[in-house]
Structure 1
Amino acid sequence: MREVWQVSLAVSCIKLLLIPSYHSTDFEVHRNWLAITFSRPIEQWYYEKTSEWTLDYPPFFAWFEHFLAKVAYYFDRDMLNVENLNYASEATVLFQRLSVIVTDFILVLAVKKFCAYMKTSVWKKSKTSDESLFNNKSLIFSVLVLCNFGLLIVDHILFA
Structure 2
Amino acid sequence: MQLLTMTMISKVVFLFACIIVVSVAWQNDYDRNLEFICPTGQSITRIQSKHNNHHEDRLWQFSCSNRGKLGQCQWFYNLNEFDGLLLFQCPNFGHIVATRSYHNNHHEDRRFSFQCCTPRKGKRTECQFTSFVNKLDGRMNYNVPANKYLRGAYSEHRNHEEDRVWKFEECNL
TM-score, structure 1 normalization: 0.24
Structure showing greater relative contact order (alpha-carbon pairs closer than 8 Å, 6 or more residues apart): 1
Higher strand fraction: Structure 1 or Structure 2? Answer: 2
Higher helix fraction: Structure 1 or Structure 2? Answer: 1
TM-score, structure 2 normalization: 0.23
